[in-house]
Amino acid sequence: MIGQSGIAIRNIKRADSSSVAQLARYGVATVHEAMGRVGLLATYLRPVYPGAKACGTAVTIFAHPGDNWMLHVAAELLQPGDMAVLGVSSSNEDGMFGDLLATSFHSRGAVGLVIDAGCRDTADLRQMGFPVWSKAISAKGTVKATVGSVNTPIICAGALVHPGDVVLADDDGVVVVPKAHASDVAQAAARREAKEALTRERLAAGELGVDIYGMRDTLAKAGLSYFADEAAFEQELRKKQGART
Amino acid sequence: MIGQSGIAIRNIKRADSSSVAQLARYGVATVHEAMGRVGLLATYLRPVYPGAKACGTAVTIFAHPGDNWMLHVAAELLQPGDMAVLGVSSSNEDGMFGDLLATSFHSRGAVGLVIDAGCRDTADLRQMGFPVWSKAISAKGTVKATVGSVNTPIICAGALVHPGDVVLADDDGVVVVPKAHASDVAQAAARREAKEALTRERLAAGELGVDIYGMRDTLAKAGLSYFADEAAFEQELRKKQGART
Amino acid sequence: MIGQSGIAIRNIKRADSSSVAQLARYGVATVHEAMGRVGLLATYLRPVYPGAKACGTAVTIFAHPGDNWMLHVAAELLQPGDMAVLGVSSSNEDGMFGDLLATSFHSRGAVGLVIDAGCRDTADLRQMGFPVWSKAISAKGTVKATVGSVNTPIICAGALVHPGDVVLADDDGVVVVPKAHASDVAQAAARREAKEALTRERLAAGELGVDIYGMRDTLAKAGLSYFADEAAFEQELRKKQGART
Amino acid sequence: MIGQSGIAIRNIKRADSSSVAQLARYGVATVHEAMGRVGLLATYLRPVYPGAKACGTAVTIFAHPGDNWMLHVAAELLQPGDMAVLGVSSSNEDGMFGDLLATSFHSRGAVGLVIDAGCRDTADLRQMGFPVWSKAISAKGTVKATVGSVNTPIICAGALVHPGDVVLADDDGVVVVPKAHASDVAQAAARREAKEALTRERLAAGELGVDIYGMRDTLAKAGLSYFADEAAFEQELRKKQGART
Amino acid sequence: MIGQSGIAIRNIKRADSSSVAQLARYGVATVHEAMGRVGLLATYLRPVYPGAKACGTAVTIFAHPGDNWMLHVAAELLQPGDMAVLGVSSSNEDGMFGDLLATSFHSRGAVGLVIDAGCRDTADLRQMGFPVWSKAISAKGTVKATVGSVNTPIICAGALVHPGDVVLADDDGVVVVPKAHASDVAQAAARREAKEALTRERLAAGELGVDIYGMRDTLAKAGLSYFADEAAFEQELRKKQGART
Amino acid sequence: MIGQSGIAIRNIKRADSSSVAQLARYGVATVHEAMGRVGLLATYLRPVYPGAKACGTAVTIFAHPGDNWMLHVAAELLQPGDMAVLGVSSSNEDGMFGDLLATSFHSRGAVGLVIDAGCRDTADLRQMGFPVWSKAISAKGTVKATVGSVNTPIICAGALVHPGDVVLADDDGVVVVPKAHASDVAQAAARREAKEALTRERLAAGELGVDIYGMRDTLAKAGLSYFADEAAFEQELRKKQGART
The verdict on a CB contact (< 8 Å) between B230 and C12 is yes
Give B91's DSSP letter. -
Q: How confident is the model at residue F241 (pLDDT cuts 50, 70, 90)?
A: confident
Nearest residue of chain D to residue F216 (CA atoms): D73
Candidates C7, C100, C106; nearest CB to B225 = C7
Q: Residue E86: its pLDDT value, please?
A: 98
Contact status of D5 with chain B (Cβ, < 8 Å): yes
Chain C: closest CA distance from residue D121 (Å): 18
Q: pLDDT tens, F218-240?
A: 999 999 999 999 999 999 988 88
Q: pLDDT tens, F71-112?
A: 999 999 999 999 999 999 999 999 999 999 999 999 999 999
Q: How confident is the model at residue B245 (pLDDT cuts 50, 70, 90)?
A: low
Test the A interface: residue of C215, C230, C234 with most A CBs within 10 Å: C230
Q: Residue B145: its pLDDT value, please?
A: 96
Contact status of E140 with chain B (Cβ, < 8 Å): yes
The verdict on a CB contact (< 8 Å) between D38 and B160 is no
Q: Residue F1: its pLDDT value, please?
A: 84
pTM for the model stands at: 0.97
Chain D: closest CA distance from residue F37 (Å): 6
- SS3 readout for chain A: CCCCCCEEEEECCCCCHHHHHHHCCCCHHHHHHHCCCCCECCCCCEECCCCCCEEEEEEEEEECCCECHHHHHHHHHCCCCEEEEEEECCCCCCEEECHHHHHHHHHCCCCEEEEEEEECCHHHHHHHCCCEEEEEECCCCCECCCCCEECCCEEECCEEECCCCEEEEECCEEEEECHHHHHHHHHHHHHHHHHHHHHHHHHHCCCCHHHHCCCHHHHHHCCCEEEEEHHHHHHHHHHHHHHHC
CA distances from B182 to B18, B177, B179, D18 (A): 9, 6, 5, 41
Chain D: closest CA distance from residue B205 (Å): 32
- In this predicted complex, what is the ipTM? 0.96
Test the E interface: residue of B143, B144, B147 with most E CBs within 10 Å: B143
CA distance F66 to E109: 38
The verdict on a CB contact (< 8 Å) between D224 and E98 is no
Region E39-45: mean pLDDT is 98
Q: Among residues F130, F107, F126, F85, which one has the least CA distance to residue E209?
A: F107
Region A155-164: mean pLDDT is 98
Looking at the DSSP bridge assignments, the partners of residue F125 are none
Q: Residue F230: its pLDDT value, please?
A: 95
Contact status of D3 with chain C (Cβ, < 8 Å): no
The verdict on a CB contact (< 8 Å) between E75 and D210 is yes
Q: How confident is the model at residue E195 (pLDDT cuts 50, 70, 90)?
A: very high
Nearest residue of chain A to residue F92 (CA atoms): A92
Contact status of E93 with chain B (Cβ, < 8 Å): yes
Percent of chain C's residues with pLDDT above 90: 96
Candidates B107, B118, B147; nearest CB to A206 = B107
Q: pLDDT tens, A34-76?
A: 999 999 999 999 999 999 999 999 999 999 999 999 999 999 9
Q: How confident is the model at residue A230 (pLDDT cuts 50, 70, 90)?
A: very high
Contact D78, D111 (CB under 8 A): no
Chain D: closest CA distance from residue B99 (Å): 27
Please report residues of D whose CB lies closer than 8 A to that of E5.
Answer: 223
Q: How confident is the model at residue C192 (pLDDT cuts 50, 70, 90)?
A: very high
Percent of chain A's residues with pLDDT above 70: 99
Region B199-204: mean pLDDT is 97
Region C99-115: mean pLDDT is 98
CA distance A107 to A80: 9
Examine the pLDDT at A244 and tell me if it is beyond 80.
no
Candidates A1, A38, A40; nearest CB to E38 = A1
Q: How confident is the model at residue F245 (pLDDT cuts 50, 70, 90)?
A: low
Contact status of F46 with chain E (Cβ, < 8 Å): no
Q: Residue F240: its pLDDT value, please?
A: 83
Contact status of A67 with chain F (Cβ, < 8 Å): yes
Q: How confident is the model at residue E242 (pLDDT cuts 50, 70, 90)?
A: confident
For B124-172, strand residue ranges (E) read 132-137, 149-150, 154-156, 159-161, 166-170
Q: Residue E240: its pLDDT value, please?
A: 82
Candidates F140, F145, F146; nearest CB to A90 = F140
Q: pLDDT tens, F105-143?
A: 999 999 999 999 999 999 999 999 999 999 999 999 999
Q: pLDDT tens, F146-199?
A: 999 999 999 999 999 999 999 999 999 999 999 999 999 999 999 999 999 999
Examine the pLDDT at B34 and tell me if it is beyond 90.
yes
Contact status of E19 with chain B (Cβ, < 8 Å): no
CA distances from E213 to C1, E209, E216, F73 (A): 40, 6, 9, 11
Candidates B171, B196, B208; nearest CB to C76 = B208
Please report residues of A whose CB lies closer than 8 A to that of F65.
Answer: 65-66, 92, 94
Q: pLDDT tens, A201-229?
A: 999 999 999 999 999 999 999 999 999 99
The verdict on a CB contact (< 8 Å) between F43 and D120 is no
Q: How confident is the model at residue C244 (pLDDT cuts 50, 70, 90)?
A: low
Looking at the DSSP bridge assignments, the partners of residue C8 are B226, C150
Q: pLDDT tens, E62-103?
A: 999 999 999 999 999 999 999 999 999 999 999 999 999 999
Q: Residue A29: its pLDDT value, please?
A: 98
Q: Residue A81: its pLDDT value, please?
A: 98
Please report residues of A whose CB lies closer than 8 A to that of C219.
Answer: 69, 73, 147
Contact C124, C98 (CB under 8 A): yes
The verdict on a CB contact (< 8 Å) between D147 and F213 is no
Chain B: closest CA distance from residue E25 (Å): 38
Q: Residue E241: its pLDDT value, please?
A: 76
Contact status of D7 with chain B (Cβ, < 8 Å): no
Candidates D2, D38, D39; nearest CB to B38 = D2
Candidates B64, B93, B138; nearest CB to E66 = B64
Residues 166-225 of D with CB under 8 A from B: 178, 181
Candidates E1, E37, E158; nearest CB to A155 = E158
Contact C39, C168 (CB under 8 A): no
Q: How confident is the model at residue D241 (pLDDT cuts 50, 70, 90)?
A: confident
Please report residues of D whose CB lies closer than 8 A to that of B89.
Answer: 37-38
